[in-house]
Amino acid sequence: MAHPDDQGLRKGLTSYGDTAFSLFLRKAFIKGAGYTDDALDRPVVGICNTASSYNPCHGNAPQLVEAVKRGVMLAGGLPMEFPTISLHESFARPTSMYLRNLMSIDTEEMIRAQPMDSVVLIGGCDKTVPAQLMGAASANVPAIQLVTGSMLTGAHRGERVGACTDCRRYWARFRGGEIAEEEVGAVNNQLVASVGTCSVMGTASTMACIAEALGMTVAGGASPPAVTADRIRVAEQTGARAVGLAQEQLTVDKILTPDAFENALRVLLAIGGSTNGIVHLAAIAGRLGWDIDLEALDRMGRETPVLVDLKPSGAHYMEDFHKAGGMATLLRELKPLLKLDALTVSGRTLG
Ligand code: FES
């Protein structure tokens, strides 16, 4: 596959005086990893890997990376994995919010600095998806979001439990003297029953649903739990689609339009999502020069039904939302209220 000068490995050459020599050097170095000229002539798909031992919400990232690579190669591209900062809510002092913008800068600059025709953003924990969307929006390359997916629920004495609505509930019972130290220790083993993001409609699940509503994931990308075959399949589809995005040069600004943000706000209201979603949407929109109209959000709130009954405000968990059809079911119900002409990373409209 022949490339124009500004694509594939030829993109953004480090300056060593003359262009041909700069490319010659770049290829010499990457060939140290055993690549052939054929591989290096393919569309390059960057894979932003946020795996970290400090981030169990991203504990399935190695399997996701493998599946994304499979998808990229099945579609004829060259996958190139690279690391960025990873943020977990319980492992970021003084607070993860303090580091969200640093992660967005890291993401933006590494997308810009390294040659890639499109990028797969693997995020999940609260601040990571907004940081990646902010960074990709500023870099304005073709980009697609892949979330790690929610954790499974655990069980304590016949009751389902999951982080982190139930964390506070059981801790309050312990502090109130209702349950003993031994029992609260047993609950501690059950609250996070697998890798993946919090199992309630907290910020991570909210941002996953918002990413799909914005058109930044493959259809059905928001809800599969982290450890399911559905999640791995979404990863393979994401990799394959990233090659299409590269070939079509479908940049982020064509997806993240005012209509896309309006759809995201509708979904935020319909899922009873985290209020942090508004803060993050404002930051993502700001990268593209758009404002989030809070008056309009207030109006929309009066006409948008709450369709999802998940903790912390309701009764159920993300895996139940997935089994009930996930975002496809939700978007179908919301159809009269959505901007159906908004373009998605599929290359087709949300409608
Ligand atoms: Fe990562 Fe809740 S701590 S999603």
H or E stretch at 123: strand 118-123
Confidence of residue 29 (pLDDT cuts 50, 70, 90): very high
Place of tokens 């309009």: 296
- Chain segment 134-179, per-residue pLDDT in tens: 999 999 999 999 999 999 999 999 999 999 999 999 999 999 999 9
Q: Is 89 in the pocket of ligand 1 (CB under 6 A)?
A: yes
CA dihedral 267, 273, 278, 281 (to 10 degrees): -50
Report whether pLDDT(238) > 50: yes
Predicted pLDDT of residue 6: 84
The pTM assigned to this predicted structure is 0.97
Confidence of residue 2 (pLDDT cuts 50, 70, 90): very low
Percent of the chain whose predicted confidence (pLDDT) is above 70: 99
- Helix residue ranges per DSSP H, the chain: 19-31, 37-40, 61-74, 97-113, 128-139, 165-175, 181-190, 203-213, 229-248, 252-255, 258-270, 276-287, 294-303, 318-323, 326-334
Q: Is 191 in the pocket of ligand 1 (CB under 6 A)?
A: no
CA angle 304, 343, 219 (to 5 degrees): 75
- Chain segment 183-202, per-residue pLDDT in tens: 999 999 999 999 999 999 99
Q: Is 125 in the pocket of ligand 1 (CB under 6 A)?
A: yes
Arithmetic mean of pLDDT over the chain: 96
Confidence of residue 15 (pLDDT cuts 50, 70, 90): confident
Percent of the chain whose predicted confidence (pLDDT) is above 90: 97
Structure tokens at 82: 């690279």
Q: Is 68 in the pocket of ligand 1 (CB under 6 A)?
A: no
Nearest Cα neighbor of 119 from 136, 106, 101, 100 is: 136
Q: What is the whole-number distance in angstroms between the Cα of residue 88 and the centre of ligand 1?
A: 6
Domains in the chain, ordered, with CATH?
1-33 (no CATH), 42-152+194-337 (3.40.50.2300)
Report whether pLDDT(1) > 90: no
User: Residue 33: how many CB atoms within 10 A of its CB?
Assistant: 6
Q: What is the whole-number distance in angstroms between the Cα of residue 87 and the centre of ligand 1?
A: 9
Residue located nearest, by CA, to atom 1 of ligand 1: 125
Predicted pLDDT of residue 253: 98
CA distance linking residue 340 with residue 64, whole number of Å: 30
- Average confidence (pLDDT) over 14-20: 90
Predicted pLDDT of residue 220: 98
Q: Is 57 in the pocket of ligand 1 (CB under 6 A)?
A: yes
- Chain segment 302-338, per-residue pLDDT in tens: 999 999 999 999 999 999 999 999 999 999 999 999 9
Amino acid (1-letter code) at residue 311: K
Predicted pLDDT of residue 4: 64
Pocket test for ligand 1, best of 91, 125, 194 (most atoms within 8 A of CB): 125
- Average confidence (pLDDT) over 197-217: 98
Confidence of residue 181 (pLDDT cuts 50, 70, 90): very high
- Chain segment 68-114, per-residue pLDDT in tens: 999 999 999 999 999 999 999 999 999 999 999 999 999 999 999 99
User: Which residues are CB-neighbours of 223 under 8 A, at least 6 positions away?
Assistant: 149, 150, 208, 209, 318, 321, 322, 326, 327
Predicted pLDDT of residue 158: 95
Confidence of residue 17 (pLDDT cuts 50, 70, 90): confident
- Average confidence (pLDDT) over 276-299: 97
Q: What is the whole-number distance in angstroms between the Cα of residue 192 and the centre of ligand 1?
A: 10
